[in-house]
């Protein structure tokens, strides 16, 4: 046994001290409050997505002739198929909600400021990857709303200046949804986007490890007490508790409100009401309010501004001399986003 241990130690020269050094970064005290640790939540949920996604892929058949029937088979006939499909659907919903909440906490605490600008931009890419995963996943079911949702998305992309037509061709593999569209969505959903997300999360975490998380001070914390605590086991246990609570919530949601399946895609019948998933309600309402061209151009502008927000924020603070200017802008934006989302949810058209 000792010889095996020595053999391994020589090949993998990593001992307890190295591991402690790698994992035991000092964590600032504010991270004891769970809402500051929301970054771990999408990571957890993404792992659930990979595991349940692999299980679903065993039965799913990505072609327009077979996709709908295979999802019905998973939901109604495969043992525990309904449970894993529901876990996948709810974890997707919670993951996007968690990414948005995490981004909000980063935004409102100004944790994107120098020297963390690049990590904010990587975060923006993570947000888009998560949204695209949600969109392509929704389309894979090939029910009426999947089909018409993809058709609407294709039409909207033509409003993008210069590359609009190309973007539509790239997305739909043709002018309309056709038999090549679903395999394309599938390769995006099950290979390209998850791989991109894993790589981005890896860079995100490495940068967090190199910078450390932003130090925040609270008035109720005495200055003479230690300002940091250990990552392992203290912070690790906070993350573990969050993860376990999440698994219980997820399993309860999947059991109480399981994923259903609507009518099969029919290219000849436009449904009376076409709605995307809830996380696209805000953009959908924006489109209805301003028409495709203005909406796409203004959204493009907003997205670009969000990417370079750390620099815009710096200029705004210097020009206005209001240190909390980003907080006020953030509050207004959150109200607008919630308002448009509720508006879209409340009306039929």
Nearer to ligand HEM, 152 or 201 (CB): 201
List Cβ neighbours of 49 (8 Å cut-off, separation of 6 or more). 88, 91, 92, 95, 133, 194
| Contacts of range 288-293, beta carbons closer than 8 Å, 24 or more positions apart | 288/344, 288/349, 292/155, 292/156, 292/159, 293/159
Q: What's the min distance (Å) between Cβ of 36 and ligand HEM? A: 6
Nearer to ligand HEM, 167 or 201 (CB): 201
Q: Does 157 bind ligand HEM (CB under 6 A)?
A: no
Q: What's the min distance (Å) between Cβ of 5 and ligand HEM? A: 33
Using CB under 6 A, pick the residue from 71, 91, 92, 213 that binds ligand HEM.
213
Cα angle for residues 321, 299, 289 (degrees, 5° grid): 110
Q: Does 116 bind ligand HEM (CB under 6 A)?
A: yes
Nearer to ligand HEM, 64 or 214 (CB): 214
Could you give the CA distance from residue 123 to residue 117 in angstroms, rounded to a whole number?
10
Residue range at the interface with ligand HEM (CB under 6 A); choices 116-124, 172-180, 256-264, 321-329: 116-124
Peptide bond just before 251 cis, omega within 30 deg: no
Using CB under 6 A, pick the residue from 103, 136, 151, 238 that binds ligand HEM.
103
Q: Does 120 bind ligand HEM (CB under 6 A)?
A: yes
Nearer to ligand HEM, 97 or 274 (CB): 97
List Cβ neighbours of 189 (8 Å cut-off, separation of 6 or more). 133, 136, 137, 140
Q: Does 102 bind ligand HEM (CB under 6 A)?
A: yes
Using CB under 6 A, pick the residue from 71, 87, 94, 124 that binds ligand HEM.
124
Nearer to ligand HEM, 39 or 62 (CB): 39
Q: Does 189 bind ligand HEM (CB under 6 A)?
A: no
Is 153 in contact with 171 (CB distance < 8 Å)?
yes
Angle, helices 40-57/117-140, rounded to nearest 10 degrees: 30
Q: Please, what is the end-to-end C-alpha distance for the chain in angstroms? A: 70
Q: What are 330's two structure tokens? A: 């953030």
Spatial CA neighbour of 201 closest among 30, 22, 42: 42
Q: Does 246 bind ligand HEM (CB under 6 A)?
A: no
Is 187 in contact with 57 (CB distance < 8 Å)?
no
Q: What's the min distance (Å) between Cβ of 96 and ligand HEM? A: 9
Using CB under 6 A, pick the residue from 67, 87, 91, 111 that binds ligand HEM.
111
Nearer to ligand HEM, 189 or 204 (CB): 204
Q: Does 27 bind ligand HEM (CB under 6 A)?
A: no
Which stretches of the chain bind ligand HEM, using CB under 6 A?
36-40, 42-43, 99, 102-103, 106, 111-112, 116, 119-120, 123-124, 126-127, 130, 201, 204, 208, 213-214
């Amino acid at each position: 046994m000792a010889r095996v241990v020595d053999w391994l130690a020589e090949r993998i020269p990593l001992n307890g001290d190295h591991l402690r050094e790698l994992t035991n970064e000092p964590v600032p005290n504010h991270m004891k409050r769970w809402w500051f640790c929301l970054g771990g939540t999408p990571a957890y949920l993404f792992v659930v997505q990979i595991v349940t996604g692999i299980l679903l892929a065993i039965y799913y058949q990505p072609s327009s002739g077979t996709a709908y029937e295979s999802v019905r088979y998973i939901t109604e006939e495969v043992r525990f198929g309904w449970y894993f499909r529901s876990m996948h659907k709810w974890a997707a919903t919670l993951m996007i909600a968690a990414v948005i909440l995490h981004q909000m906490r980063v935004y409102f605490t100004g944790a994107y400021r120098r020297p963390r600008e690049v990590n904010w931009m990587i975060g923006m890419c993570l947000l888009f990857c998560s949204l695209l995963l949600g969109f392509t996943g929704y389309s894979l079911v090939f029910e009426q709303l999947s089909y018409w949702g993809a058709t609407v998305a294709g039409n909207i992309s033509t409003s993008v200046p210069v590359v609009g037509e190309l973007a539509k061709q790239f997305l739909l593999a043709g002018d309309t949804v056709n038999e090549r569209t679903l395999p394309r969505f599938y390769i995006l959903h099950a290979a390209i986007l998850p791989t991109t997300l894993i790589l981005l999360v890896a860079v995100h975490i490495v940068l967090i490890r190199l910078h450390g998380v932003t130090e925040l001070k609270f008035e109720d914390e005495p200055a003479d007490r230690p300002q940091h605590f250990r990552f392992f086991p203290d912070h690790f246990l906070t993350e573990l508790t969050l993860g376990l609570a999440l698994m219980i919530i997820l399993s309860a949601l999947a059991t109480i409100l399981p994923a259903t399946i609507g009518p099969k895609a029919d290219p000849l019948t436009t449904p009376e009401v076409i709605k995307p998933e809830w996380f696209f309600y805000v953009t959908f309402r924006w489109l209805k309010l301003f028409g495709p061209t203005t909406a796409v151009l203004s959204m493009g502008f907003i997205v670009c501004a969000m990417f370079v927000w750390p620099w815009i924020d710096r200029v705004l603070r210097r020009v206005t001399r209001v240190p909390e200017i980003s907080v006020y802008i953030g509050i207004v934006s959150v109200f607008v986003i919630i308002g448009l989302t509720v508006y879209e949810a409340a009306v039929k058209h």
